């Protein structure tokens, strides 16, 4: 997998057997339990201060699964909607120390580095030389988020999670793209290339799951309001340590948006025959970055769901 300097991201497996994945959550409301009563609205990563809880809003989707014998036997995805939020707190070294993810359900995942039984770990994918993302888990929950400050992003991030590790029959996993798109002005002409990463969770036809990582390139034509979406150099991992190439999960598609709107969508296919859709949006005052989510399915329970983020290249 090739590395774009300053931009790298990955997520987690949805595998029922994967020790890196985890469990349940509940609650809801505008301010979830375990977060600040007055979170600070996210503006840019360059403005982040240590010890302050930031709330970044965006879009996402979830998948509910029925499990039996450690494997998925049924999959039920939701549609893509707004109303997803990430609450993030950083220490003096700008390392993530607390993460809360909320959905429209509402459901809730809270991971606090200071809580007993919770671990945070920097994760580095080859050939990276510094951690590109952080994974966090406890006995019932797991999540992985990009390290946008280290990645050189300023307006967005994305992540994926799984809940239900303590349940023998039900699990839920999801993906979100969050950030600042207030006042985003999309150019009316010209082209741009966005480089970044796609990552997600793959459930095989047999019902087992792995984490998926891929390089992402999006070529935008602002005049025709179209985006050519390509995720390649795909790798999978069941332990966040060993990565195996899987070209069948390389993705390609064409997305589009209506003039005057900031929401693109379109069909995405995998080399191995999965089909589905992606929905995303631009971030930053001049559409400097973009992000979104996707979900593809094959026969039976075979599902590939994830998220992505990217930044315009010079």
Beta partners for 281? 291
Domain-located, residue 7:
no
Domain-located, residue 40:
no
pLDDT in tens, 133-142: 778 888 888 8
pLDDT in tens, 54-67: 999 999 999 999 98
H or E element at residue 24: none
Domain-located, residue 6:
no
Lowest-confidence region among 10-14, 102-106, 238-242, 290-294: 10-14
Confidence of residue 28 (pLDDT cuts 50, 70, 90): very low
Mean pLDDT of the chain: 86
Domain-located, residue 233:
yes
At 183, give phi and psi (nearest 5°).
Answer: 75, 15
Domain-located, residue 303:
yes
Confidence of residue 2 (pLDDT cuts 50, 70, 90): very low
Domain-located, residue 191:
yes
Distances (CA, A) of 79 to 33, 42, 54, 61, 279: 26, 25, 26, 6, 10
What pLDDT is stored for residue 6 in this prediction? 37
Q: Answer yes or no: is pLDDT of 173 > 60.
A: yes
Domain-located, residue 36:
no
- Domain containing residue 63: 53-309
Q: Answer yes or no: is pLDDT of 298 > 90.
A: yes
The tally of domains found in the chain comes to: 1
CA torsion sign for 31, 32, 34, 35 is: negative
Domain-located, residue 13:
no
CA nearest neighbour of 145 among 220, 209, 54: 54
CATH number of the domain to which 78 belongs: 2.40.160.90
Question: Any residues with CB less than 8 A from the CB of 199 and at least 6 apart, and which?
Answer: 9, 10, 11, 160, 211, 212, 213, 214, 306, 307, 308
């Amino acid at each position: 997998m090739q590395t774009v300097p300053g931009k790298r991201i990955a997520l987690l497996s949805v595998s029922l057997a994967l020790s890196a994945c985890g469990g349940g959550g509940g609650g809801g409301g505008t301010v979830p339990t375990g977060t600040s009563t007055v979170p600070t609205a996210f503006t840019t990563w360059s403005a982040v201060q240590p010890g302050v809880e930031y709330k970044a809003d965006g879009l996402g989707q979830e998948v509910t699964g029925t499990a039996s014998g450690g494997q998925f036997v049924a999959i039920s995805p939701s549609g893509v909607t707004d109303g997803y939020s990430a609450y993030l707190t950083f220490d003096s070294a700008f390392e993530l120390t607390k993460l809360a993810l909320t959905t429209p359900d509402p459901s809730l995942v809270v991971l606090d580095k200071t809580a007993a039984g919770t671990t945070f770990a920097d994760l580095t994918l080859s050939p990276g030389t510094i951690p590109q993302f952080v994974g966090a888990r406890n006995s019932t929950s797991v999540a992985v988020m990009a390290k946008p400050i280290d990645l050189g992003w300023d307006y967005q991030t994305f992540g994926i999670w799984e809940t239900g590790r303590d349940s023998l029959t039900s699990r839920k996993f999801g993906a979100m793209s969050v950030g600042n798109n207030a006042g985003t002005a999309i150019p009316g002409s010209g082209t741009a290339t966005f480089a970044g990463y796609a990552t997600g969770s793959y459930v095989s036809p047999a019902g087992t799951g792995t984490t998926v990582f891929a390089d992402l390139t999006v070529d935008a034509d602002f005049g025709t309001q179209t985006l050519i979406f390509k995720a390649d150099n795909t790798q999978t991992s069941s332990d966040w340590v060993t990565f195996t190439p899987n070209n069948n999960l390389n993705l390609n598609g064409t997305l589009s948006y209506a003039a005057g709107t900031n929401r693109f969508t379109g069909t995405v296919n995998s080399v191995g025959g999965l089909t589905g859709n992606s929905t995303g949006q631009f971030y930053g005052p001049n559409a400097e970055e973009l992000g979104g989510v996707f979900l593809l399915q094959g026969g039976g329970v075979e599902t590939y769901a994830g998220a992505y983020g990217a930044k315009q290249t010079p």
